[in-house]
């Protein structure tokens, strides 16, 4: 591929993301009441979880080697994972199942755009992500005793990349859950199940609290611990950050390859709902 062609591809994808963010912003600001409801719901959940953590550590000093302060950081990472996964991934995946079910995919496939990239990035809720995520995560930030945490710059950088790789792997896991719609005509409940697993697995259980088989299973086949447990463990230096980085990178790379192959197979077997 020539450099000019590569630049053209990047430019096209940037324009798609730019248009997606603008469209999502206009849609989100039009429903202020819905935004406030989301803020209240997310904040209430966060405050209840902070209370729960305080109660737990009122009776014990450590859980799987994690102190109260460590667990608060873990909860912070878990909340960032939830908001990132929902507003950058799950919204688009839900829309994909509707498009296939109702035949809207036909129109997308005729557009001069990369269909897979467009379908998974057309609705990026940046504004609502910030509005809903900021108050609850801020409450966690103020609950953490940051000077008491021993975080090295190297572990922090590794942790950021692990978080990104984990978000990619989790997205692919949920994306694959949507593909049965091409054969079944509906996969909304399968996607909901995948989203529930992604949002709930391991939030309050550190990586070191899982058995080796579960660490492997939930870090590979069902990659729901990478962006949460792996990230927190790497940042806090509980497990080798370099090892977790390599693990997360390999899984993300395999996941991206599988997503492309699965998508091509699904499209090859796609029967237009409008034909």
Domain edges within the chain: 3-268
With tokens 């950050």, the residue in question is 241
The residue among 157 and 138 whose pLDDT is bigger is: 157
- Whole-number pLDDT of residue 160: 97
Distance CA 161, CA 153 (A): 13
- Whole-number pLDDT of residue 220: 93
Both tokens assigned to 261: 């192959």
The average pLDDT across 96-114 equals 84
Confidence of residue 260 (pLDDT cuts 50, 70, 90): very high
- Whole-number pLDDT of residue 32: 58
**pLDDT, tens digit (0-9, with 9 covering 90-100), for 184-233:** 888 888 988 888 887 765 567 889 988 899 999 999 999 999 999 999 99
The residue among 124 and 262 whose pLDDT is bigger is: 262
Within 8 A by CB and 6+ apart from 184, the residues are none
Confidence of residue 127 (pLDDT cuts 50, 70, 90): low
**pLDDT, tens digit (0-9, with 9 covering 90-100), for 222-258:** 999 999 999 999 999 999 999 999 999 999 999 999 9
- Whole-number pLDDT of residue 114: 86
Confidence of residue 4 (pLDDT cuts 50, 70, 90): low
Distance CA 202, CA 75 (A): 10
Helix (H), strand (E) at residue 186 = none
The residue among 119 and 1 whose pLDDT is bigger is: 119
Confidence of residue 25 (pLDDT cuts 50, 70, 90): low
The average pLDDT across 22-37 equals 65
- Whole-number pLDDT of residue 202: 55
Cβ-contact 227, 162 below 8 angstroms = yes
- Whole-number pLDDT of residue 71: 92
**pLDDT, tens digit (0-9, with 9 covering 90-100), for 39-84:** 787 788 888 888 888 888 888 888 888 999 999 999 999 999 988 8
With tokens 């692990």, the residue in question is 162
Within 8 A by CB and 6+ apart from 269, the residues are 182, 183
Quote the percentage of the chain above a pLDDT of 70.
88
- Whole-number pLDDT of residue 42: 79
- Whole-number pLDDT of residue 36: 66
- Whole-number pLDDT of residue 91: 84
pLDDT at 275 over 60: no
DSSP 213-232: HHHHHTTTTS--SIIIIIHH
Residue 130, Cβ neighbours under 10 Å: how many?
11
């Amino acid at each position: 591929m020539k450099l000019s062609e590569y630049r053209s591809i990047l430019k096209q994808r940037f324009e798609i993301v730019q248009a997606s963010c603008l469209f999502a912003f206009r849609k989100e600001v039009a429903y202020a009441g819905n935004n406030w409801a989301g803020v209240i719901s997310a904040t209430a959940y966060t405050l209840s979880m902070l209370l729960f953590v305080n109660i737990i550590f009122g009776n014990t000093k450590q859980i799987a080697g994690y102190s109260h302060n460590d667990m608060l950081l873990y909860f912070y990472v878990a909340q960032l994972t939830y908001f990132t996964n929902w507003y950058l991934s799950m919204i688009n995946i839900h829309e994909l199942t509707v498009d296939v079910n109702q035949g809207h995919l036909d129109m997308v496939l005729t557009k001069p755009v990369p269909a897979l990239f467009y379908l998974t990035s057309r609705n990026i809720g940046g504004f609502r992500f910030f509005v809903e995520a900021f108050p609850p995560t801020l409450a966690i930030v103020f609950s953490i005793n940051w000077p008491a945490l021993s975080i090295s710059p190297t572990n922090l950088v590794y942790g950021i990349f692990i978080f990104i790789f984990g978000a990619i792997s989790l997205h692919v896991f949920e994306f694959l859950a949507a593909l049965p719609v091409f054969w079944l005509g509906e996969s909304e409940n399968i996607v909901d199940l995948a989203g529930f697993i992604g949002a709930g697995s391991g939030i309050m259980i550190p990586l070191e609290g899982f058995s080796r088989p579960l660490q492997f299973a939930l870090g590979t086949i069902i990659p729901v611990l990478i962006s949460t447990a792996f990230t927190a463990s790497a940042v806090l230096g509980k497990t080798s950050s370099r090892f977790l980085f390599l693990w997360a990178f390999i899984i993300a790379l395999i996941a991206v390859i599988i997503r492309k192959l699965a998508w091509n197979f699904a499209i090859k077997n796609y029967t237009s709902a409008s034909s």
